[in-house]
Chains A and B, each alone.
Chain A
Amino acid sequence: MKREPFFWVSVSCGIVIMAFIILPLIQLLTSPSVEMLRESIGDKDVGRSIWLSIYTAGLAAVISFVLGTPLAYLLARSNFKGKRLVEGIIDLPIAIPHPVVGIAILSVAGRNHWFGQMLGELGIRIMGSVTGIVTVLTFVGIPFYLNATKAGFEAISPRLEKVSRSLGASMFSTFIRITFPLAWRSMLIGIIMCCARAISEFGAVVIVAYHPMIAPVLIYERFEAYGLKYSQPVAVWLVSISLILFLLLRILTLHKVEEQ
């Protein structure tokens, strides 16, 4: 059968996009020698920054999970005036330029703002602290968790919950026995998306907390001070470790799906 020209146009575009994404990554991953990789992971600063990146992103995901799940459920189940507005606000952090996010957070958390003064009195410091990093990462990551989880809840027929209630289950029992088991996969995808977004954040973090250094800031610093060659090994480690973590999560979940 002869293919339409349109088909070949689509395929060509696809190939260009694949190459565009994969080529720089492959180049990055293959540039540093094994020797350099070994040396860089032995570097205390590198290890510390990668670990800091991973656990602040993880914390952001945990906070998103705890605070975001009830809101995602509310948005999936009820219609109220201003729901569109709430959904729009949730998507805002995706659209705002990253340094602006950092500046905005600092302007609220700074000494000149009543909220910042209150935090100061409580002994909470945002500027240049792990707390600050987690705040920023939650800010940029939570929309991804909310949207994925909301979609997951929406995919569950409200009738399942209604039947459960009529059979004697309270709202809480219904959530634990019916809604959560059916939605946890979407929630996990939300957590992965949120983590992935958080771990890749640079622009906002560099403004709020240059120190302690997360991996992207360290990579930037090495690039600025020593050039491409010295930033690459750190980048390779960050990318590899994140990829392995996400792959592990996906494999774990897919495994569970097949069991069912």
Chain B
Amino acid sequence: MIAIRELNIDLREFQVRDIDLHIAENEFFVLMGPTGAGKTVLLEAIAGLVPIKSGTILIGDQEVTRLPPEKRGTSLVYQDYALFPHLTVMENIIYGLHFHKMDKKQTKERFDQLMEVLDLSHLHHRLPTNLSGGEKQRVAVARALMIDPRVVLLDEPLSALDPGFREEVRNALRRLHQSSEATFLMVTHDFAEALSLGGRAAVMNSGRIEQVGTIEDIFQRPLSMFVADFVGMKNLFAVQFQGTRADAKGLEIELGRKSINSRGYLAIRPEDIVISRKALSSSMRNSFRGIVTGILDQGFYYEVHLLVGAVTFKSLITKRSLFELKLHEGAEVFFSFKASAVHSF
């Protein structure tokens, strides 16, 4: 459990203001926001690595605001891995054990479990320089979890990885979170990561928290323009995958590629959905006939809601298109989008 009350941080480059945040025991919490929003600073403040101006931080039931980093039971995983280059993989992983008194049997069990889940057994004696990005990050995760921390702080752990490795580390993180009692707090700007790992999330903007809630809430019911803009992808559906297709409440959507998971989410940016009065004979793989259920004025653009079966799509069109298409609520229209515009995770 992490509880942050009225936290303020004043660094030269960054300021963090009035943070109130409650993260439940064993939750996988995601911190999102643009670069420079103060996410890493908040993470390092929880770890005790940044001086804070005012406020309190509790981990478990203990107030840690004045404790040095080594007494807090928080482990860090950075985007750039931060492996100790002069130590072997094995020495990196057991580094924290030098400073913690632990039951030998439990330590051994945890070590074996981490080796298995993160698939590191064959790398023991290598030095970090000789590892791939995915391997490095798996070692960093193992090192963080080896001391059985109360809180695991992950700072964009997947951003530097190639897509293939990203999937692999993400799955390992999910498994480790499920089998551990620790609370996970991850910074990311990747929506796929946020959705596939996180339960709840917060969006930060220039040092403040804009919104806290379940990830689907944040995506579907943004409370501020900033969050709406930030999440961007307004079409978000829980789906089941079958081959190269996805089933969203009975509606079949073509992905153009196979998904390795059986369940997941689809996201489509509203501006990728093209509305027409007649059926388009184009190369777009997904074409539907729907009914306009709402038209919302958004300044330069209009957001058009389109209902097909039980699914509502949101499309963004210009004022001119709106007039040319003569759209009104209840109108029957065609709309389509490319398979490549569909993001799945």
Contacts and interface: CB of A to CB of B under 8 A. Distances in A.
Interface of A: 79, 157, 159-160, 162-171, 173, 177-178, 181-182, 260
A173 B75 contact: no
Instruction: Report which residue of B12, B68, B85 has the largest number of chain A beta carbons within 10 angstroms of its beta carbon.
Output: B85
A166 B86 contact: no
Given A166-B47, A167-B143, A169-B70, A159 B82 contact: yes
B80 A165 contact: no
Contacts of A167: 70, 75, 95-96, 99, 143-144, 147
Contact of B49 (A160, A165, A169): A165
A161 to B, nearest CB: 9
Given A79-B12, A260-B86, A162 B44 contact: yes
B47 A162 contact: yes
B204 interface: no
Contacts of A160: 82, 84
Contact of B69 (A159, A165, A177): A165
A170 B86 contact: no
Contacts of B80: 157, 159
Contacts of B143: 163, 167
A167 to B, nearest CB: 4
A168 B47 CA distance: 11
B85 A168 contact: no
A171 B71 CA distance: 12
A165 B76 CA distance: 9
B40 to A, nearest CB: 10
B99 A168 contact: yes
25 contacts: A159-B82, A163-B76, A163-B78, A163-B82, A163-B143, A165-B48, A165-B49, A165-B70, A166-B76, A166-B153, A167-B70, A167-B95, A167-B99, A167-B143, A167-B144, A168-B99, A168-B147, A169-B95, A169-B96, A169-B99, A171-B68, A173-B99, A182-B85, A182-B86, A260-B127
Instruction: Report which residue of B68, B84, B147 has the largest number of chain A beta carbons within 10 angstroms of its beta carbon.
Output: B84
Secondary structure of the A side of the interface? helix
A159 B48 CA distance: 13
Contacts of B127: 260
A107 B319 CA distance: 84
Size category of the binding interface on chain B:
20 to 34
A164 B95 contact: yes
A166 B50 CA distance: 12
Interface of B: 12, 44, 47-49, 68-70, 72, 74-76, 78, 80, 82, 84-86, 95-96, 98-100, 127, 143-144, 147, 153
Given A159-B82, A162-B44, 7 more contacts: A159-B80, A163-B75, A167-B70, A170-B70, A170-B99, A182-B86, A260-B127
Contacts of B144: 167
A167 B145 CA distance: 10
A168 B96 contact: yes
Contacts of B147: 167-168
Contacts of B44: 162
Nearest to A167: B96
B68 A165 contact: yes
B47 to A, nearest CB: 5
Nearest 3 Cβ contacts at the A-B interface: A168-B99, A167-B96, A165-B69
B127 to A, nearest CB: 8
B267 to A, nearest CB: 32
A181 B95 contact: no
A159 B44 CA distance: 10
A165 B80 CA distance: 17
A118 B283 CA distance: 92
Contacts of B99: 167-170, 173
A134 B226 CA distance: 64
A42 B85 CA distance: 50
Contact of A168 (B12, B49, B70, B78): B70
Contacts of A79: 12
A105 B96 CA distance: 49
Instruction: Report which residue of A79, A168, A173, A177 has the largest number of chain B beta carbons within 10 angstroms of its beta carbon.
Output: A168
Nearest to B82: A159
A218 B49 CA distance: 55
A22 to B, nearest CB: 37
B107 to A, nearest CB: 14
B68 A170 contact: yes
Contacts of A171: 68
A159 B147 CA distance: 18
Contact of A162 (B68, B72, B76, B95): B76
